[in-house]
Amino acid sequence: MKFFIIIKEESERLPNKNFLDLGGIPLYKHLLNELKTEDVYIDTDSDRIIEECKTLSNIICYKRDIKHIKLENNIEFGVSPVLLMIENFLDKYVYDDNEIIITPHVTSPYIKLKTMVDATKMLSEYDTVCACTEHKEFTYFKGEAVNFNPNVVSKTQDLEPVVMGNGAFFIFTKKVFMKNKNRTSENNYFYPIKFPESVEIDTLDDFRLAEIYELS
């Protein structure tokens, strides 16, 4: 089992996001601390991250391929640079086609190693796994009711949960990824996680909520 993490120097929606102080340490360090006993590989465009990782023996950290940096700025390109980064990692560092790969995001600072390891068990029945949150709310899509009959008075607790991917982690094997060229598949399992593990920091409001949680 190997962990592959992509860390960017800058963020468009929340400048300097990965380096913001959360609970006394930079945001990105929460995940690295959680994975301190695991084999971790980091693809980054940040010299700061590379320098920091020199002191961490469980991490192989390398500078992002310039081709992938250019593709991140090209919205017309047909393939996500993230998928190309994963493929590049698999080609260089993963030799077993059945190796389990977990790709967590540093923007989910409270995700636990145990949760991700438990989620790998679903690979016995599914090709891929991704984290999600479940919401029991009256949900519409394009004006149509999704999880309830609008002609029947329903209680919220009786609704079928709506599943929303939250990006905390994706799980797959090298073999499956190289076949699909994607982190998910048609035979994908949505693995539900709850607060605070479901916290995902994309905006300033997200970060402020995480700060409040740190003080609780």
Residue 149: pLDDT above 90?
Answer: no
| pLDDT at residue 165 tops 70 | yes
Q: What is the pLDDT of residues 151-161, one digit of tens each?
A: 887 888 888 88
**Pair type for strands 40-44 and 59-63:** parallel
CATH number at residue 146: 3.90.550.10
Cβ atoms of 17 and 106 closer than 8 Å: no
> pLDDT at residue 114 above 60?
yes
Give the least confident one: 3-17, 85-99, 108-122: 3-17
Which residues, in sequence order, are CB contacts of 8 under 8 Å at separation 6+? 18, 44, 45, 46
The confidence score (pLDDT) of residue 150 equals 81
* Domain with 124 in it: 2-215
**Is the CB of residue 63 less than 8 Å from the CB of residue 6?**
no
Reply yes or no on whether the pLDDT at 145 is more than 90. no
How does the average pLDDT of the chain come out, rounded?
Answer: 90
In this predicted structure, the answer to whether residue 27 has a pLDDT above a threshold of 60 is yes
Over residues 131-144, mean pLDDT: 87
pLDDT of residue 25: 96
pTM of the model: 0.89
For residue 81, cis peptide bond before it (omega within 30 degrees of 0): no
Beta carbons within 8 Å of 158's beta carbon, 6+ residues apart = none
Q: Which residues contact 46 (CB under 8 A, 6 or more apart)?
A: 7, 8, 9, 18
Q: How many domains does the chain have?
A: 1
Q: What is the C-alpha separation between 193 and 206, in angstroms, rounded?
A: 17
Q: Determine the 3-state secondary structure of 141 from DSSP.
A: strand
pLDDT the model gives residue 134: 87
CA distances from 19 to 59, 164, 195, 213 (A): 18, 27, 22, 18
Of the given ranges (44-53, 118-127, 151-160), which has the lowest mean pLDDT?
151-160
Band the pLDDT of 146: cuts 50, 70, 90. confident
